[in-house]
Each structure stands twice: as C-alpha cells, then as structure tokens.
Amino acid sequence: MPHTDVATSPPPKQAPKNRTHWLYIAVIVAVGLGIAVGLLFPDFAVKLKPLGDGFVALITMMIQPVIFCTIILGVGSVASAAKVGKVGLGAILYFLVMSTFALTIGLVVGNLLHPGDGLHLDDSAVAAGAEQAKEGHGSTTDFLLGIIPDSLFSSLTSGDVLQTLLVALLIGFALQQMGPAGKPILTVVEYAQKLVFRVLAMIMWAAPIGAFGAMSAVVGATGADALKSLAILMGGFYVTCILFIFVVLGTVLRVFAGVSIFSLFRYLAREFLLILATSSSESALPRLIAKMEHAGVDRTTVGIVVPTGYSFNLDGTAIYLTMATLFIAEALDDPLSIGEQISLLVFMIIASKGAAGVTGAGLATLAGGLQSHRPELVDGVGLIVGIDRFMSEARALTNFAGNSVATVLIGNWTDGLDRERLDKVLAGELPFDERTMMDDVPAAEPDPEPAGAR
C-alpha cells in the first residue's frame, strides 16, 4: 500500500481507559476512614449517617426500574412460555429448600450457643424494641394483597419489589403472545435498561462517600465497648453464615455444577465489597445481572432467577431471624420450645418475602413476628438494634452469595449456561469490562455472545 494511503487513513478508535478500579480502592479507604472517625470522634461520626442513608436511597431508587426492564426482556424475548415456567419454578423450589437448610442450621447453632444467657434489658432497649415492632407488624393476608399494585404504573414507584415482579411478568408474557408485533416494545425496554445502567454507573461514584458516612455513624453510635456484651451473638451468626456459604452452598455448587465457589466469589469480589460497605445486597443487583450474563448464563435465566432471588432467597435472613429470636427469648428468661421456635420462624420467613435486600428489613420483620406471636418478647428487639447494622451486612452477603450460586446452578439445570464461557470467565481469560454496561462505550476486545443469551 502506498505511503500516502497509510498517512491519510484514520487512526483506530481508542476505547476510553477503565477507571472503575479506582472507585473500589476509594471504597476500601473510605471504610477505613469511617471506622477511624467513628472511634476517635463518635459524636461527630453519628451526624454523618445521612451520607450513608442517602447513597443507599439512591441505589434503592433504581432497583425497581432495573428489575422491571430485566424481567420483561428475559421473559418477553423467549419464544416459549414453558422455558420461563421451568426456570421460575426451579428457582422458587431451590430457594425454599436452601432457606429451610439455613433455618435448620440457625436453630441448631442457636440452641447450642444460648447467646442470650445473662443479659438484661434497660429502658432504652425497651423503647427501641417497641418502635421496631410498629414498623414490622403485618399479617400474611396483608402481605399477599400487598403484591397487587394500585395501578400498572404505580408498581414502578411503590417501593415494593414484589409488585414490580408481578407487573413485569404480566407484561413479559403479554409480549410473548404478541409475537413479532411486540418486538418494537422490547427494543424500547432494552434501551430503557441501558439508560438505567448509565444512571447507576453515575450513582456508583458516590459509593465512597456513602461508605464513609455509614461506617462512621455505626461505629460512632455503638463504640467498641458496646459490642463486647453481644460478641457471642455476632460471632455465632457470622460463623453460621460462613459455614452455610462455604459448606452448604459450596458443596451444592461443586456437586451439581462442578464449579468452585471460591472461583465464583473471586469473580464477584467487587460486588461483595460494595455490599459490605453499604450493608444492602440491592446495591450490587444490577452488576450481578450484568456479570452473570457475561459469564455465560442466558438472559432468560438471569432475568428470572436474580430478581426472584432478591425476593425469595432468604438464606441470611433465615439464619438471622433464628438466632436473634433465640437470643431475645433467653435474654428475657422466657425461652421458646422447639415447636414455638419453628412456628414463629416459619411465619417470619413468609412475612419477610420481598425484603431480603433492604437494609434494616430483617429487624422490622423480627419485631413484627414477635408482636404477632409473642408480644411479651418484643421489648427484647432493642437489645440488638445497636448491632443490627453489622448483622445486616452478613445477611446481605449471605443472600447475595445464595443468589449468585443459584443463578449458575439453575442455568446449568435448564441448559441455559454456556459452560465453556463460564470456565474462561472464572479463570480470568475473559475479564468483565465495567464499560460494557453502557452501550455507547466500546469494549477493548469483542466478547462472543453467550450461547442462548439472546
């Protein structure tokens, strides 16, 4: 080729540099600074709580649009409703089985540790327990009727994830039945999803500020000494969650899918860090959706399993409710029989559907369950208000771990997993590019489409 042709040819378009790794380094630094400020200047640190609350509120604001778009695309783009039904039924059955395992483990550990022995209430704890009971009280009938929104569009603004799930499923199945006539609507929803991801990418740059404010406030409010009397409860809860994740979930993932849970968690390390900082598994939901599709799980499976898991996967919440209930009963010298434990906890599991990813929802569910079944124990909720933030982190991490494992397992069981691609992604051969969540930014390397993803 002549030299002049080379000189006049346009230079290749360079992909923008990926700076997202600085964001997660900043989150780690912010968490460390928050702990230091909370210990050194507790009075000032408590006043920083709105920073953390504001960040979580920004994330929560986007969750319903994300779920709405994801489910419609996952269901509406599948030609056969049988595929959707198979994935959905498998997901719900799996979540029920694993929640039962979590409930059983929590009961065993709680009855062995007797975490509430020797503790007593004060007036402030009683007042805090009563306040939480007001927020958590509600009947099973109220829960079921609450799934139905006031209108089709109010499901996007109600704050109730289950309402969004219901409406999105209805629209998805309607688009399925419309056939080719529904294609333009699916295209609009796909662009809407990309817009939502773009907004989320902007919000995520506020994560260090939110993490700093949240950690400063919780450490400043509780202090180091205040945690010592509750060390048995916290330690037992964390150990139980760890055992459940790496022994139960790890074994299931290895036996039924041949995947190492350590490889999967290494791939999702940034999402776990984000949850640890915000104490809410919802903060990582959009990224889990994008990463699971990148790893070779087809869009339908991801679009159904992940949002469903955020409403029905209650592994961490089941363990928390179990141990917290036993702790309160023993602290008030009013221990529960095995029959009372099981009946009360089954009610709490049902009542907490749809709140698995919401910060503080476990505490309200605990108080509401006690108010409905054993009102004399509600005052004991105040004992754990001070450490609920730390336990909320473990709940969120456990629920997120369960969702990620479930997505891989159900994709494998329903032939919705490109296993070759998954192995390459987990081995680091096909790294996830944060910028691919925004369609106007080209990836550094072309990524092959997962089998069956579209």
* 208, burial (CB in 10 Å: exposed 0-12, middle 13-18, buried 19+): buried
Q: In angstroms, what CA-CA distances link 68 with 288, 301, 389?
A: 15, 15, 29
What string of H, E and C letters represents the secondary structure of 397-424? HHHHHHHHHHHHHHHHHCCCECHHHHHH
Stretch among 273-282, 368-377, 432-441 having the lowest mean pLDDT: 432-441
Give the residue among 63, 176, 80 at the shortest CA–CA distance from 416.
80
Which amino acid appears at position 303 of this protein? G
pTM of the model: 0.64
Which amino acid appears at position 191 of this protein? Y
Q: Mind listing the pLDDT tens digit for each residue in 29-48?
A: 887 888 788 878 878 888 88
Q: Mind listing the pLDDT tens digit for each residue in 393-448?
A: 788 888 889 989 999 999 888 888 889 999 999 988 888 876 655 544 444 443 44
Q: What six digits make up the tokens of 22? A: 């600085």
Q: Tokens 């990926």 label which residue? A: 18
Stretch among 5-9, 54-58, 211-215 having the lowest mean pLDDT: 5-9
Buried/exposed 81-99: b ≥16 CB within 10 Å, e otherwise: eebbebbbebbbebbeebb
Q: State the greatest distance between any 2 C-alpha atoms of the chain, in Å, as a whole number.
A: 92
Q: Mind listing the pLDDT tens digit for each residue in 198-226?
A: 787 787 787 788 778 877 876 776 665 54
Give the residue among 339, 357, 105 at the shortest CA–CA distance from 244.
105
Q: Helix, strand, coil proportions of the chain in percent (round to 5)?
A: 75, 0, 25
Cβ neighbours of 419 (radius 10 Å): 15
Angle subtended at Cα 357 by Cα 24 and Cα 144, rounded to the nearest 5 degrees: 165
Is the pLDDT at 379 greater than 90? The verdict is no
Domains of the chain: 22-437 (1.10.3860.10)
The contacts of residue 274 (CB under 8 Å, 6+ apart) are 24, 27, 207, 283, 284, 287
Which amino acid appears at position 347 of this protein? F
Q: Mind listing the pLDDT tens digit for each residue in 138-187?
A: 555 666 777 788 887 777 777 666 777 788 888 888 887 887 888 888 88
Q: What six digits make up the tokens of 426? A: 């987990």
Residue 292: strand, helix, or coil: helix
Q: Mind listing the pLDDT tens digit for each residue in 297-325?
A: 888 888 888 877 876 777 887 888 888 88
Average pLDDT, the chain: 74
Q: Are 406 and 91 in contact (CB under 8 A)?
A: yes
pLDDT of 354 reads 45
Q: What six digits make up the tokens of 254? A: 């290895």
